[in-house]
Amino acid sequence: MALIRNPFDHDLPSADSPQVHVHLDGKWVDVPLGLNVIEVARRFGKLIPHYCYHPKLSIAGNCRMCLFEMGTPKLGPDRKPVLDGEGRPELQWVPRPQIACATTAFEGLGIRTASPLVESCQKGVMEFLLANHPLDCPICDQAGECKLQEYAFDYGKGRSQFGEEKVRKPKRVDIGPRILLDDERCILCTRCIRFAREIADDDCLGITERGGYNRLSIHPDQRFTSNYSLNTADICPVGALTTKDFRFRMRAWFLKETQSICVDCATGCNVTIGSREGFVYRLTPRVNEAVNSHWMCDQGRLGFHPIHSKHRVLEPARRVETGLFPGEWPLVLGQVAESLRKLEPSSLALLVSARLTNEELFLVQRLRESLRGESEIFTEVVPRKGQADGLLRSDDLNPNSKGARILGIGADGEKLPELRKRIEEGKVRALFCLHEDAIGAGVPEEMLERLSLLVWQGILEDKSCERAHWVLPGASFAEKSGSMVNRAGQVQRLHRAIPTPGRAKEDVWILRGLILALGGEDVGQSVPDIFSKMVATTPAFHGFTWSGLGDQGVPLPAQAG
């Protein structure tokens, strides 16, 4: 599912593009016709440095860092290419360097990425870019990820011929609710301007003034309020645009990076979790052309903060007259299992979240089988609806609705009115809330008071937790591994980035413990083991393997979607 509003795919030629022969640094190689020269070099492990070029934005060609030496086939009197002894065209080299971002592959194109002319041009461009750039790397958030730093080391002269005082430009300009601009760091690559216009559809940025006084500005009557504004901080090659949320909080090189997915809606954008010492500091988008390309929305990017909330539940407990009394996990699980075993199955209801992984939902399925006997146990998922934006944001705010539907747990909340009716009539006397608030799902508080047993499993205190007889603290998305199915049917993996806080446990550990305490079958200790068991018993997942999901996920068969 590609981005429907993005006409620029400089790195992805069409499947029917014919192959052409290109001479790259002394070797003839085959590449698709029309492939951008920067991408041609990248395919063969060569870097053409660049600032303004981005594979998903229009070509600006203004940084001049991607200059290369270009050759074209030499033509004879008959206007046909002159061939050498091997049947290859002889090349004539253009005396003036060309910009790689605005040049595409054609038959007989010659590319030199590291000739003396190219190296001289790169050093000159770097000297101009650094002429007015402040030397504030020690306090810049982009340090460690800055292309100006990296290219200055790799391609710069190491000295400057400029003796003039640097041009001073505005600092800490508040251009939007989530982003700040340090204009003196800007190298005028215009990536942010093109992103705002072409992807975010919020054309509010531009260049003002002239010459060395050029600067990035926002329209005086506007703010950069787009729900995709923070992507500009990702694509900014220097530290001109920084996020208010991450600014001055952590050095990039201290962060442990874990590949995962966003769980804020059903799109399932691929992300990298940046964490240190058990604390998540940021989420950044990870490239996956089948899901989110290079982008993600601000809402999903900032959705990790609740996992460090002061309202986080940190230890298992049972309710006594004076409140919640902490207990040890083996004892608590045994007592909860005993309480569930004593119930008539038809009097129990499971209120399940579609924010759980496939493996957790599979264990819920097995828990239900361990309890139900000859009666069916009422099970339903709580739906979450939002506003789709036509780009990445889905109107389904549950990240795994499709997985819940495939595993027979539910997805649409159609039976929630029936649950309220059953509690009111006294048919349901016990409720197990798995990462859901029954009151938030529409069950009145007075109805919860009628229950003989209320078990709550989750991460943040809510009204159901306040009334629960048993509290089982679970894990957030950053504290667990597993898989989910996004709205397009892509099965993708989460990976554990940080440990659970306090005495909270991963949900697969809790559910497995309950199943074993009830005398059920052990489906495996690890997530890959549980995934294998789930695949073996769920037709929609047949043929899948945990390792086969890879970093980009695998689409479900069309009939399973």
pLDDT of 172 higher than 70: yes
3-class DSSP assignment, residue 329: helix
Task: Tell me the pLDDT tens digit for each residue of 476-487.
Answer: 999 999 999 999
Q: Of how many residues is the chain composed?
A: 561
3-class DSSP assignment, residue 368: helix
Per-residue model confidence (pLDDT) at position 6: 63
Per-residue model confidence (pLDDT) at position 541: 96
CA angle (220, 224, 228) in 5-degree steps: 165
Instruction: State the average pLDDT over residues 10-23.
Output: 93
Under a CB-based contact definition with an 8 Å cutoff, are residues 235 and 191 in contact? yes
Sort strands 453-458 and 179-181 into parallel, antiparallel or unpaired: unpaired
**Confidence band of 298 (pLDDT split at 50, 70, 90):** very high
Selection from 352, 408, 359 nearest residue 382 by Cα: 352
For residue 301, give the H/E element and its range: helix 298-301
Per-residue model confidence (pLDDT) at position 277: 96
pLDDT of 67 higher than 70: yes
Helix, strand, coil distribution of the chain in percent, nearest 5: 30, 20, 50
Phi, then psi, of 218 in degrees rounded to 5: -110, 145
Position 440, amino acid: G
**Confidence band of 322 (pLDDT split at 50, 70, 90):** confident
CA distances (Å), origin 278, targets 59, 257, 272:
41, 12, 15
Q: Whole-angstrom Cα distance, residue 444 to residue 438?
A: 8
Q: Is 277 exposed, middle or buried (0-12, 13-18, 19+ CB in 10 A)?
A: exposed
Per-residue model confidence (pLDDT) at position 422: 92
Per-residue model confidence (pLDDT) at position 187: 95
- Fold for the domain defined by 19-114: Ubiquitin-like (UB roll) (3.10.20)
> Hey, where are the domains in the chain?
19-114, 136-249, 317-555
Instruction: State the average pLDDT over residues 329-342.
Output: 95
- Alpha-carbon 218 to chain mean position: 27
pLDDT of 280 higher than 90: yes
Under a CB-based contact definition with an 8 Å cutoff, are residues 65 and 99 in contact? no
pLDDT of 86 higher than 90: no
**Confidence band of 372 (pLDDT split at 50, 70, 90):** confident
For residue 351, give the H/E element and its range: strand 348-352
Q: Identify the bridge partners of residue 356 per DSSP, sorted by sequence position.
A: none
Computed over every residue of the chain, the mean pLDDT equals: 93
Neighbouring C-beta atoms of residue 80, cutoff 10 Å:
10
Between 216 and 414, residue with greater pLDDT: 216
Instruction: State the average pLDDT over residues 292-307.
Output: 96
3-class DSSP assignment, residue 166: coil
DSSP sequence for 190-252: -HHHHHHHHTS----EEEES-GGG-EEEE-TT-----TTTTHHHHH-SSSSEEETTTTTT--G
Instruction: State the average pLDDT over residues 503-526.
Output: 95
Look up the CATH number of domain 136-249. Answer: 3.30.70.20
Q: Whole-angstrom Cα distance, residue 298 to residue 392?
A: 11
Instruction: State the average pLDDT over residues 358-367.
Output: 96
pLDDT of 464 higher than 80: yes
pLDDT of 257 higher than 90: yes
Under a CB-based contact definition with an 8 Å cutoff, are residues 98 and 117 in contact? no
Q: Give the sheet arrangement for strand 323-326, strand by strand.
A: 323-326, 317-320, 470-473, 453-458, 430-434, 348-352, 378-381
Per-residue model confidence (pLDDT) at position 1: 42
CA dihedral 535, 537, 539, 544 (to 10 degrees): 10
pLDDT of 342 higher than 80: yes
- Fold for the domain defined by 317-555: Rossmann fold (3.40.50)
Per-residue model confidence (pLDDT) at position 158: 82
Instruction: State the average pLDDT over residues 61-74.
Output: 96
DSSP letter at 214? -
Instruction: State the average pLDDT over residues 27-53.
Output: 96
Selection from 497, 474, 481, 459 nearest residue 276 by Cα: 497
pLDDT of 373 higher than 80: no
pLDDT of 2 higher than 60: no
Per-residue model confidence (pLDDT) at position 163: 81
pLDDT of 560 higher than 80: no
Task: Tell me the pLDDT tens digit for each residue of 378-434.
Answer: 999 999 999 999 999 999 999 999 999 999 998 788 889 999 999 999 999 999 999
Instruction: State the average pLDDT over residues 296-310.
Output: 96
Position 252, amino acid: A
**Confidence band of 164 (pLDDT split at 50, 70, 90):** confident
Token pair listed for 212: 């060395």
**Confidence band of 5 (pLDDT split at 50, 70, 90):** low
Q: Whole-angstrom Cα distance, residue 16 to residue 31?
A: 12
**Confidence band of 559 (pLDDT split at 50, 70, 90):** low
Instruction: State the average pLDDT over residues 324-330.
Output: 94
Q: Whole-angstrom Cα distance, residue 239 to residue 43?
A: 28
Q: Whole-angstrom Cα distance, residue 353 to residue 381?
A: 6
Q: Whole-angstrom Cα distance, residue 105 to residue 20?
A: 7
pTM of the model: 0.94
